[in-house]
């Protein structure tokens, strides 16, 4: 089924083309050396599972969004919520990496548990992964953040429209996937060979 599986003639069950362990080499480079060992271990563990989850979501979203088979692949409400979840995952990866780069930049190894202001971690992420194209990374990341923030349903009266329109392929998935590109390119040789997260 698209990226999600390769079926042998006699399938024994589900298996993914990439595993969370495949992401560890890339993450070990992407997380700066100045971060405390326990913080590094937890962050790598969190992000490797998020990244493999993003691959699996992309394996369904792209064939549907691009209509690769000439028709819909997913029930539309399911696709919309997957676009939303993909944006949340991308935001989480960016927030984690941006935060540790900011902390190292200010001489903190992360063990104090201090919260990093979004503007600070976004700035650190852009400086580390896209110093010559920071505006583009920041724009895509802020769009992913806007989608992610739609999880909060407590001030609907303040919104001009329903959230549904913000969760479609072009509005949610495309900018979120684009936000990942400079991160993946920085240590491209350590990205899992079969990933589908590249544009």
Half-sphere exposure of 41 (CA within 13 A, CB side): 4
Confidence tier at 160 by pLDDT (50, 70, 90): confident
- Domain positions in the chain are 20-190
Q: What is the pLDDT of residue 199?
A: 87
SS3 letters across 23-49: HHHHHHHHCCCCCCHHHHHHHHHHHHH
Burial of 138 (C-beta count, 10 Å sphere; 0-12/13-18/19+): middle
For 71-89, write each residue's pLDDT tens digit.
887 888 889 999 999 999 9
Report whether 141 contacts 94 (CB < 8 A).
Answer: yes
For 32-83, write each residue's pLDDT tens digit.
999 999 999 999 999 999 999 999 999 889 988 888 778 887 888 889 999 9
Q: What share of the chain is helix, strand, coil (3-state, %, to 5)?
A: 65, 0, 35
Nearest to 49 by CA among 76, 20, 71: 20
Residue 1 has pLDDT above 60, yes or no: no
pLDDT above 90 covers what percent of the chain? 70
The pTM (predicted TM-score) of the whole model is: 0.90
Return the structure tokens found at 11: 């399938």
């Amino acid at each position: 089924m698209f990226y999600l599986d390769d079926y042998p003639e006699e399938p024994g069950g589900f298996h993914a083309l990439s595993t969370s362990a495949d992401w560890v080499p890339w993450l070990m480079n992407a997380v700066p050396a100045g971060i405390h060992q326990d913080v590094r271990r937890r962050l790598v563990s969190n992000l490797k599972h998020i990244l493999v989850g993003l691959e699996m979501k992309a394996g369904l979203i792209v064939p549907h969004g691009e209509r690769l088979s000439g028709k819909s692949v997913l029930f539309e409400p399911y696709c919309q919520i997957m676009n939303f979840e993909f944006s949340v995952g991308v935001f989480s990866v960016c927030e984690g990496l941006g935060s540790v780069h900011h902390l190292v930049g200010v001489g903190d190894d992360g063990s104090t548990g201090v919260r990093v202001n979004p503007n600070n971690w976004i700035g650190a992420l852009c400086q580390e992964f896209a110093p010559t194209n920071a505006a583009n990374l920041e724009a895509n990341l802020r769009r992913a953040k806007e989608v992610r923030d739609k999880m909060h349903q407590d001030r609907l009266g303040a919104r001009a429209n329903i959230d549904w329109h913000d969760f479609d392929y072009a509005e949610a998935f495309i900018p979120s996937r684009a936000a990942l590109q400079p991160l993946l390119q920085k240590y491209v040789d350590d990205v899992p060979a079969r990933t589908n997260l590249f544009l």
